[in-house]
Amino acid sequence: MNPDCAVFVAGHRGLLGSALVRKLREKGYRRLILRTREELDLRDQAAVREFFAREKPDAVFLAAARVGGIYANATYPAEFIYDNLAIQTNVMDAAYRAGIQKLLFVGTSNIYPEHAPQPLREEYLLTGKLEPTSEPYAIAKIAGLKMCEAYNRQYGTDFMAVMPTNLYGIGDNFDLRTSHVIPALIRKFHEAKRDGAASVEIWGTGDTRREFLFADDLADACIFLMENYSANQIGGFVNVGTGTEITIRGLANMIQRIVGFTGEIQYDPQKPEGMTRKLLDISRLTALGWKPSVSLEEGLRRTYEWFVRKEKTIGTEKK
């Protein structure tokens, strides 16, 4: 893949998709093919096949997906498994039928067993039971990476798969019903500061540990792989993360400081909090020559600054 290629970014208005568009344009890619959900519903097989047959992009970044945090995964399991299976199946198969060789599928670190050894290595896939809360989403993503492998083996395509750790950044979803932990905490602390609240409640004990990756870093990793490697060269799917972790308590304290909220933090241990620990082994990717460049604190500051600028347009009305 090079800047002369026509590149389709599926899900270009999402967190990762928008970061991919920024990074591709920075690198001189001008032939970007972008469609909103209203213009192209990726769950519609006929529409997706017609689109690929007509546009015939040279490369595809499959960043479109239904995503969300613990509450969303527990509340909408049917949508999470159906929408993700439909999107990735339609896009991959239509890409193959249109003769497109180069595709990158974005999965999730939720694919790993709940009690797998830490840090999580690629070979731990399918060695144990999944974490129950995110199981439908994880199963869909496992199907996606296996579909990449199957199409490569049978049809000779070059479909790659990356499994990123927890993402956050500019353009994130700040809806408290469906967001991940970082945008949820940013919004909670921001509104508590704005309203003069005495405290902020956080689900769980605060002791679970998580790894977080700035979306622009993931976009950079995806483009790096597509420009320099094939699926055969990377030896299967690849973890993308930072190799470092932080407790939810430590994360909350960092966001509290960045936002400037001076009240108390109250934890509710009766609420679900997912896997106790989830850290990716990124040695396969670093051996290929890539590493992240944005620290957690810098990424959180950039995300919060964007959130404040966009407050009126991203639905921060008081709940």
Write out the catalytic residue numbers.
137
For the chain, the three-class secondary structure string (H helix, E strand, C coil) is CCCCCCEEEECCCCHHHHHHHHHHHHCCCCCEECCCCCCCCCCCHHHHHHHHHHHCCCEEEECCCCCCCHHHHHHCHHHHHHHHHHHHHHHHHHHHHCCCCEEEEECCHHHCCCCCCCCECHHHCCCCCCCHHHHHHHHHHHHHHHHHHHHHHHHCCEEEEEEECEEECCCCCCCCCCCCHHHHHHHHHHHHHHHCCCEEEEECCCCCEECEEEHHHHHHHHHHHHHHCCHHHHCCCEEECCCCCEEHHHHHHHHHHHHCCCCEEEEECCCCCCCCEECECCHHHHHHCCCCCCCHHHHHHHHHHHHHHCCCCCCCCCC
User: What are the C-alpha distances in Å from 313 to residues 174, 306, 310?
Assistant: 11, 11, 5
The answer to whether 227 and 1 are in contact (CB under 8 A) is yes
Residues 6 or more apart from 223 whose CB is under 8 A from it?
A: 1, 20, 23, 24, 27
